[in-house]
Amino acid sequence: MDDTRQKLIDAAGQIFSEKGFEATTVREVCQAAGANIAAIHYHFGDKERLYIEAVKHANCQQDVVKFDWPPGCPPERKLEGMIFHLMEMMLENDSPSWHIELMMRELARPTAACRELVEEFISPMFSQLLEIVTEFFPEGAPLLLRQRMVMSVVAQCLLYRYHRPIGRLLLGEETFQKLFELEFTAQQVLAFSLGGIRAAVAQYVGSGVAEAEVRS
């Protein structure tokens, strides 16, 4: 990535996270980045596009991973791989504080940046996770039921990134830091997810709906 472009994103992200989009000026971003006032127009076109790119950078600094599972790979193993990947991102602790602060602002008042983030990053990951969850259910299980399972898995992961201030207050700093042990925390999320999905499958099958749908 062009050095000036990245400096503008870093400077803008910091200021956007503190002041919001409207109160941030192009001039102060350029000053903070040590760039010419025309640099934003050259690299982004306008302030809105700069904001969108800062939000996307804060949430995802890598391309979407498309998992290539080997033939016959059980859904449990696939779910484990997905959760470990998600938790690696959620537990990442070296990024600047403005990454989380800017995302919290955006989530509170979604803009076009949120839409692009969903379309380019979140939706592809969601789709892969939905494919995995679907393997646990009988054919014909309602889409909404499967989507709810995905949302429950994702919600557990997001907690570790966007609720850190609450975690520190609830647990204390020493205990809170133990949550960043990837292996332990990812396995815990996996165990809860598998338990929840299997319970939902059993409830769905036990209700007789699945059998009725097969007969119809």
Q: How many structural domains compose the chain?
A: 2
pTM here is: 0.86
The string of DSSP letters for 19-54 reads H-TTT--HHHHHHHHT--TTHHHHHTSSHHHHHHHH
pLDDT over threshold 70, residue 176: yes
Is the same domain home to 23 and 127? Answer: no
Length of the chain: 216
Characterize 40-56 residue by residue with b for buried, 16 or more Cβ atoms within 10 angstroms of its Cβ, and e for exposed: beebbeebeebbbbbbb
Neighbouring C-alpha atoms within 13 Å toward the C-beta of 203 = 9
Percent of the chain with pLDDT over 90: 82
Residue 89 domain-assigned (yes or no): yes
Kindly report the CATH number assigned to the domain that includes residue 54. Answer: 1.10.10.60
Q: Is 137 helix (H, G, I), strand (E, B) or coil?
A: coil
Q: Which domain holds residue 19?
A: 3-59
CA angle 131, 63, 123 (to 5 degrees): 40
Residue 170 domain-assigned (yes or no): yes
Residue 70 domain-assigned (yes or no): no
Residue 149 domain-assigned (yes or no): yes
User: Last residue of some domain: 11, 30, 59?
Assistant: 59
Please state, rounded to an integer, the average pLDDT across all residues of the chain. Answer: 92
Is the same domain home to 181 and 156? Answer: yes
Q: What DSSP state is assigned to residue 110?
A: -
Task: Write the pLDDT tens digit of every residue in 28-66.
Answer: 999 999 999 999 999 999 999 999 999 999 987 667 788
Residue 64 domain-assigned (yes or no): no
Token pair listed for 65: 């991973």
The string of DSSP letters for 58-88 reads HH-SSPPP---PPTT--HHHHHHHHHHHHHH
Residue 7 domain-assigned (yes or no): yes
